[in-house]
Chains A and B, each alone.
Chain A
C-alpha cells in the first residue's frame, strides 16, 4: 500500500470511473454482438448445408440458400461486427482520452434500437423482403435507421476525443477517429448509390457501388477498429511500448490511401470503365503493405514479453488477429491478380475471403479486446481459462480450415472448373461438393467456439465472474501480472465505497 503514490491512485480511480461509466453500454454491445455472431454462424451453417444437401428442410422457404446467405452476412456485419466495434470504440476512446462517458444512457438506448433494427432487418431478409445485396440486404428504411443510430453512438467517442486529457494522441486514437469518420461516409455513399438512387441511376454502377461499399466497410471500418484494438492490447498487456511508432503511422496512412480504391475488382469484365477494375485489383495487392506494418509491430511488441504472450488470452487473440490480417490480405492479393481473378471472381473463394477477413482477422482482434475489457468493466475475472482456451483453438481450427481448404483450395478448384469450356457448369458444382461439406465442418467448429464464448460472456454479464485480483490466465504458473496494475483496483475499495457499490 505504501508503494502506491497519489498520482497512481488518481490514475487508477480515473480508469475505474471510466470503466464504470461505460459498463452498461459496452457490455450490452459485446453480449448482444456475441449472440448475433452465434445467430449469424447458425444461418451460415444452414446456408452451407444447403449447398451440398439442397433438400435439407426444403419445406421451410425462409431457410433457402438465397435468403439465409444474405441474412447470415448481414447478422455478421451489423449484428456482431458493428456492435463489437462500437463497444471497443467507445471504451477505448474514453480510456485513451481519459474521459468518463456522461451519456451512457443514450448510447445504451441507441444500442437497443440498433439491435431492434438488425432483428427486424434479418426477419425481413429471411421472409424475402430484403434487397438481395449481400452486405446491404436490409430494407432501405432499416439501413437509414442504422446510419442515424450510429450518430447517437459514435458522437460520444468523438466528444471524448475532443475533450481529451493529456497531449499525446496514441496510434489507436488515430485509427478510431478515422473509423468514426469513414463509417458514415462509406455507409451513406453505399446507401445512396446502391439503394436510394435505384431506378434513377445506371444499373451497373448501382451494383459496382455495392461492391465498393463492401470493400470500403471492411478496410475502412472493421480494419481500423481491429488495428486500434491490437495497438492498444499488445503494449498494454506486455507493458512495453509499440515496437515502432513510425511504422504504425506509416501503416495507418498506407491503409487510408490504398483502402478506398479497392472493391471494383469484383466487377472485373463487367461493362464498367476498365480502369476501375484494374485499379481496385492493384489496390488489393497493395493492401499487403499496411498488413505487414501491423503484423511486424504487433508481433515484435508481443515478442518483447514472451510470458505475457503465453499467458494472456487478450494478447493471444490479438496476435492471432494480426496474423489473420496478413493472411487475409495476402490471400486477397493473390486472388485479385488479374490472371487469378478469372478463376476467383465467381468462385466460392470470394465468400471464403470475406469470412477469413471478418472472422480470422477482425473477430480475433475483437475477442482479444473483449477478454481485456470485460473484466475491467464488470470488476470480475473470467470464470474459466479452459473455456477461453477452447474458444481460441476451436475458432482457430474452424477459420484456418475455411481459409485454406474452402477458400484457397476450393476457390481455385471451383474457378478452374468454371474456366473449362468443355465442362458443364453442373460438373463444377460436383467439384464443389467436398469443399461445401468442408465449409459446414468449419462452421461446426466455429459454432462450438462461439457457444463457449457466448456462455462465458453472458455469465460475465450476469456478474457471475470470479471476484479476484488476479486475471484469468491461460496458465496458472505466471510469474508476473501480464494485465498491468489493473488488479490493484480492489485496493481502492476502502477509500471509495462507490467503487464497490456497482
Chain B
C-alpha cells in the first residue's frame, strides 16, 4: 500500500458516509417544504405551523446551557422505536376535552424556527416535548379543585360548565399560576406539595437552581411571583429564569397534522 492509495482510500471511505449521513441530509432538511392541510380531508387549506409565543429562543438557549437535555428528552418516537406514544401526556392525551385523542409522534415540522432540537441524552426525568400541554391540563384540574374547595359552583344552573376563564375570574389570586408553579419547581423541585404535571409521584432528582433567582427587598405587597420571602427579602426569578419558563410553557408538540401525515388507523380531520 502506497501513501497515495492510502489517502485515496481514506477520502473515499470517509467522504461517502460524510456526504450521505451529514451533508446531503443537512441540505435537504434545511430546505424542507412546509406541509399544507388538505381541503377535502382536513377542511382547511393553511400550512402546518408549530405555535409558539414569547421568548422561546432565549429560553431554548438557557435550556441548553443549563444542561436540561441531559435528563429530559423532547421526542415521541414511532412505535418501532419505543412505546412513547402510548404514555399518557407524552405525545398528547387520549381524551382532550375539545380535540379528543391528540396523541401522535413527533415530526420534523415540530422543530420549525428552533435553532437546536433538544432530542435529549437520557430520560432521567420525564419527556418535555408536550410539557406545555401537561401543564395546561394541570392548571385546569388545579383550578377546578380549588374552585370546589372554595365553594365555587363549576356547573351552572343551565347545567353547562363554567369555562376556564370564568373559573379563573371567580378564583382571583387563588387561581393556579403556571409561571409561579415553574419558578417554584426550578427553585426547589422537592418542595412539599409540588406535584409534577401528569405524574402522581412528587419525588424528583431534578436540581435546585439558585442561579435563576435573585434576592430583592420585600416592599409593599411584594412580588406575586416570589418563591420565598424571609427576613425582609423576597426571592424572585431573574431574566434567564423567565425566558426558560416561557420556553417550557410553550413546549407543545401535539398540533393536529394534515390527514396525509397521520399514521393512526382511525385518521381524523385536522379541523380548524
Contact = CB atoms under 8 A, between A and B. Distances in A.
A426 B204 contact: yes
B87 A421 contact: yes
A299 interface: no
A263 B70 CA distance: 17
Given A204-B117, A269-B81, A432-B124, A425 B199 contact: yes
Given A253-B9, A424-B201, A425-B125, A208 B25 contact: yes
B178 to A, nearest CB: 20
Size bracket, chain B contacts: 35 or more
A260 B21 contact: yes
Contacts of B9: 253, 256
Interface in B227-251: none
Contact of B67 (A67, A249, A341): A67
A50 B205 CA distance: 8
A105 B86 CA distance: 61
B158 interface: no
B71 A58 contact: no
Contacts of B205: 50-52, 54, 429
B7 to A, nearest CB: 8
A243 interface: no
A342 interface: yes
A181 interface: yes
A204 B217 CA distance: 44
Contacts of B64: 131-133
Given A51-B205, A348-B122, A202 B26 contact: yes
A425 B122 CA distance: 12
A227 interface: no
A382 B54 CA distance: 62
Interface stretch (A273-281, A311-319, A444-452): A273-281
A269 B210 contact: no
Contacts of B157: none
Interface in A186-238: 189, 193, 198-209, 212, 220
Contact of A268 (B77, B196, B200, B209): B77
A59 to B, nearest CB: 6
B69 interface: yes
A350 interface: yes
Contact of B124 (A174, A427, A429): A429
B199 to A, nearest CB: 5
B81 A341 contact: yes
Given A59-B210, A276-B21, A256 B106 contact: no
Contacts of A152: none
Nearest to B29: A202
Contacts of B82: 269, 342, 345-346, 418-419
Nearest to A65: B207
Contact of B203 (A181, A203, A426): A426
Given A61-B211, A269-B81, A351-B122, A426 B117 contact: no
Interface string B109-130: 0111011111111111111000
Contacts of A193: 22, 26
Nearest to B203: A426
B117 A207 contact: yes
A155 interface: no
B149 interface: no
Contacts of A128: 65-66, 211
A424 B199 contact: yes
Contacts of A198: 115-116
Contact of B26 (A209, A249, A418): A209
A66 B68 contact: yes
B71 A204 contact: no
Contact of A270 (B75, B208, B211): B75
A169 B5 CA distance: 13
20 contacts: A54-B189, A58-B210, A61-B209, A64-B209, A67-B66, A177-B6, A202-B32, A203-B114, A203-B117, A204-B117, A205-B25, A206-B117, A209-B26, A338-B81, A345-B81, A350-B121, A421-B86, A426-B201, A428-B123, A429-B205
Given A269-B81, A429-B205, 12 more contacts: A50-B207, A65-B207, A132-B66, A132-B68, A169-B3, A203-B114, A205-B26, A207-B116, A256-B9, A260-B18, A346-B73, A426-B203
What 9 A-B pairs come out closest when comparing CB atoms? A66-B67, A269-B77, A269-B81, A132-B64, A61-B211, A260-B17, A426-B201, A202-B29, A271-B108
Interface of A: 50-52, 54-55, 58-59, 61, 64-67, 69-70, 128-134, 169, 174, 177-178, 181-182, 185, 189, 193, 198-209, 212, 220, 249, 253, 256-257, 260-261, 263-264, 267-273, 276, 279-280, 338, 341-342, 345-348, 350-351, 418-421, 424-430, 432
Interface of B: 1, 3, 6-7, 9-10, 13-14, 17-18, 21-22, 25-26, 29-30, 32, 63-71, 73, 75, 77-78, 80-84, 86-87, 105-108, 110-112, 114-127, 189-190, 196, 199-211
